[in-house]
Amino acid sequence: MGEFNDVLAKTIDESKQGEALSKNILSHKPIQKHFYIESYGCAMNFSDSEIVASILSENGYGVTNDYFEADLILLNTCSIREKAEDTIRNRIQVFKKAKRKNKDLLVGVLGCMAERLKGKLLEEEKLVDMVVGPDAYRTLPALIAEAKGGQKAVNVLLSREETYAEINPVRLNQNGITAFISIMRGCDNMCSFCVVPFTRGRERSRDPETIVNETRDLVNKGYKEVTLLGQNVDSYKWKNEAGEIETTFAQLLEKVALVDPNLRVRFSTSHPKDITDDVLHTVAKYDNVCNYIHLPVQSGSSVVLERMNRTYTREWYLERVEAIRRIIPDCGISADVITGFCGETEEDHQETLSLMEIVKYDMSYMFYYSERPGTLAARKYEDDVPLEVKKKRLAEVIKLQNQHSLEGNKRDIGKVHTVLVERFSKKSENDLCGRNDQYKMVVFPQKNHQPGDYVDVLITDCTGGTLIGEAVN
């Protein structure tokens, strides 16, 4: 999921997170206890943490940014690559001291790693008191009560229906300008390398009315941008009681776009096998639907794509890119790429590089293959590309992408882009930054502008990752 992959796999800055939480949390009951939460992995996990925060706030929990003060420490975890799990195992150890200080402190592991390892996690990580899968968050209060009673608590049941549709998420990101909205859960695709279908269960779509209501609510609170989230948004479908499809993704996108013309709408992730011209025409039709599509390719070789069970070929993918270019002029395109998948030859790898040369992505999220236990690939294929080769190919992919990003950014010099200001630049307090329609980060001197403003910026310079400019309005 694009930005929404575990590129977001960074711990939220702890101090800022707490600040945000304490400001935003709408506690319906008096706060009696405090929880501390860290999120890892994709945007879906960050969005789920907001559902967890909502459920806990309804149960008398307020947030703290100091885990030494917490009664409950939660880690919302990711399993996508081995490294992601290693990070979390290391992180758990950090809470030892807090646990020694406060014997009543509970530590809970949520999310994908909880779902993958289930009760085994309790044996492996002695510090952990609760293991809660992504479809079991409504039972958190009961699990907390169980754990308080001295019993380790586990709920990793996956559901075919749960979408947390009516839960009003407590926003944990502090900017008050951009928000995620989950429109579906799970994934039915079974890409052979991927653990997500096992950790998130079957695909299910959320009632469109609740999505539109959540959007409206965000607009009323002053939000300026929403990102509709799903592992494969193009297969979103809401059915009526007779089982007929009532709302497709293209129709949902239109409904959300119509909520407010000043609200930017983004979505992620699109799947090359499912993205329809209808969706592309909807993006083109509405000014406030951003011209940016994250279209993971994974590999440029049809042979590898087949083994990956991606169910499209190189030619199919390139045709979809052509359709995007034809229907949405000026569309930003990004991808996910995996190097060194089982059986990948040097020739296959060259095909990935040549596909990148054809598409010239604005940006990519790039990884070397990490075998995940229980996946189709782990059972069927040998993880036979040596680590050095995986890494060497990854370095080549990254080098080429950096070149394309820089070339693409240079082409923007001299043009004016409308930027939604998100915050002050991390490097300078005199500069603001935000994204243009194509999702590129733009930095410019503040003058009289503020976070939340739409500002027209003339691009005067760039790096590979950022456009630099001057406000012109």
Residues that bind ligand F3S (CB under 6 A): 5-6, 41-42, 44-45, 78-80, 111-112, 195-196, 199-200
Of 192-200, 251-259, 377-385, 435-443, which part binds ligand SF4 (CB under 6 A)?
Answer: 192-200
Q: Which does 197 bind (CB under 5 to 8 A by kind): ligand SF4, ligand SAH, ligand F3S, none?
A: ligand SF4
Residue 44 touches which of ligand SF4, ligand F3S, ligand SAH, none (Cβ within 5-8 Å per kind): ligand F3S
3-state secondary structure 429-455: CCEEEEECCCCCEEEEECCCCCCCCEE
Q: Cβ–Cβ contacts within 10 Å for residue 87, how many? A: 18
Q: How far is the CB of 266 from ligand F3S (least distance, A)?
A: 17
Q: Tokens in use for 417?
A: 């882009």
Q: Name which position in 48, 162, 336, 344 contacts ligand SAH (CB under 6 A).
A: 336
367 binds, among ligand F3S, ligand SAH, ligand SF4, none (CB under 5 to 8 A by kind): ligand SAH
Min separation Cβ 235 and ligand F3S, Å: 16
Least gap, CB of 187 to ligand SF4 (angstroms): 3
Q: Which residues are paired to 432 by β-bridges?
A: 424, 444
Per CB under 6 A, 320 contacts ligand SAH: no
Smallest gap from residue 91 Cβ to ligand F3S (A) = 14
Measured from the CB atom, the residue of 314 and 372 that comes closer to ligand SF4 is 372
Burial pattern 289-315, b for ≥16 Cβ within 10 A else e, equals bbbbbbbbbbbbbbbbbebbbbebebe
Residues 6+ away with beta carbon under 8 Å from 294? 1, 2, 3, 4, 268, 269, 270, 333, 334, 335, 336
- The DSSP H or E segment spanning 132 is strand 130-132
Q: Which residue has the tokens 């030859």?
A: 345
Structure token pair of residue 212? 């539109």
Which of 45, 104, 43 has the alpha carbon at shortest distance from 70?
104
Measured distance CA(40)–CA(112) in Å, rounded: 10
**67 vs 236 by CB, closer to ligand SF4:** 236
Residue 354 backbone dihedrals phi, psi, to 5 degrees: -70, -35
Within positions 286 to 305, which residues make up the interface with ligand SAH, using CB under 6 A? Answer: 296, 298
Q: Is 232 in the site for ligand SF4 (CB under 6 A)?
A: yes
* Residues making contact with ligand SAH (CB under 6 A): 1, 5, 80-81, 193-194, 196, 231-232, 269, 271, 296, 298, 336, 338, 367, 369-370, 372
* Residues making contact with ligand SF4 (CB under 6 A): 187, 189-191, 194, 196-197, 231-232, 271
